[in-house]
Amino acid sequence: MILDKIENIEQYKGLAPLLDEGLKFISENDFKTIEPGKFFLKDTLLYASINEYETKPMSECKLEGHRKYIDIQYMVSGSELIGFTSLSNQQPSESYNEGKDVVFFREEAPLFPFTKGQFAVFFPDDLHQPGILNQKKEKVRKVVVKVAV
């Protein structure tokens, strides 16, 4: 996992071509004015979703992992807590959904604050639990870029 401020995004370029394109998309757009929705940047190899939602209690948020995609998440406004742990011997709570490229787990993960202006990169070995409220419900606007591995 990578967690940093948007001001430092240039430091992570050069890791992989598609990842570079995803980071560039995040760094060069003003997501405050773009309507929520899905945007295909390179067909299914690289696409983004602009999401708005309210944070929820941890009990309503699932620890998840992906096999085919890297997640780049960028917090445009608001804040939440995200659970994070590395994939090891956890047992899935549901079968892997290949169409949505997601598998869920019951385990708890240590939480970290994810605030406006931060981005995170979750690789296939990184389990994450987004959308958790931090003391009170809050509306967030977040961009999630999916990068094929």
Q: What pLDDT does residue 142 have?
A: 98
Q: What pLDDT does residue 128 have?
A: 98
Confidence check: pLDDT of 11 > 90: yes
CA 86 vs CA 109, 111, 122, 127, 133: distances in Å: 9, 13, 10, 6, 22
pLDDT tens digits along 23-71: 999 999 999 999 999 999 999 999 999 999 999 999 999 999 999 999 9
- Please give the mean pLDDT across all residues of the chain: 96
Using alpha carbons only, how large is the chain's radius of gyration in Å?
A: 15
- Return the H-helix or E-strand segment holding 51: strand 46-54
Q: Are 140 and 75 in contact (CB under 8 A)?
A: yes
CATH architecture of 2-148: Sandwich (2.60)
CA distance 81 to 124: 20
pLDDT band at 77 (very low <50, low <70, confident <90, very high): very high
Q: Which pTM was predicted?
A: 0.95
